[in-house]
Amino acid sequence: MRPLRYAINVTLDGCCHHEAGLAPDEESMHYWAEEVARADALLFGRVTYGMMESAWRRPITGTWPDWMREWEIPFAETIDRAQKYVVSSTLDGVDWNAELLRGDVGQAVQELKQEPGEGLFVGGVTLPLALADLGLIDEYVFLVQPIIAGHGPTLLSGLRERIQLELVDRHDFRSGAAALRYRPAPAA
């Protein structure tokens, strides 16, 4: 069974809005490119899919936009070519190497986890909350930013039950950020 990994940037006070933390730098983009590359497929909700597609889809011209820095291109190329699954009840269709998932999200994700492979990667806010509530997330990766946002959506806000985690890895960045990798703790 391939694991489902939830990964997101988060501030010290739990804000997970994509603009609340530090601006991406070469070190963090390299880290995220490696994380995405570890997955057989990416799993997004409608909003995250749209946001990621607007930023990281290779333009029709084949040339990355001028605003993209050289060190962002490996991440862009990794996410652009990745297989994606999009959970949505409102989209009529998707492209960008994507397949639309409808109906019972828990069942659909459980079926994806049963397929052979290295793992699935989920990002965003709303979909991961639903998957955490269903007990489907096998690993949590939080890139904790040394910032207190003081506002915005907070990580897994509304979770029905507490999830006890155990730290399995830590990576410190020159910026002061730290990537913390957790797995759900075995039941006592």
Per-residue pLDDT tens over the stretch 82-92: 999 999 989 98
Instruction: Report which secondary-structure segment, H or E, holds 144.
Output: strand 139-145
Three-state DSSP at 129 gives helix
**pLDDT tens per residue, range 39-67:** 999 999 999 999 999 999 999 999 999 99
- DSSP code of 70? G
The pTM for the full model equals 0.93
Distance CA 70, CA 66 (A): 10
Cα angle 65-69-75, degrees, rounded to a multiple of 5: 90
- Whose tokens are 């909700």? That residue is 45
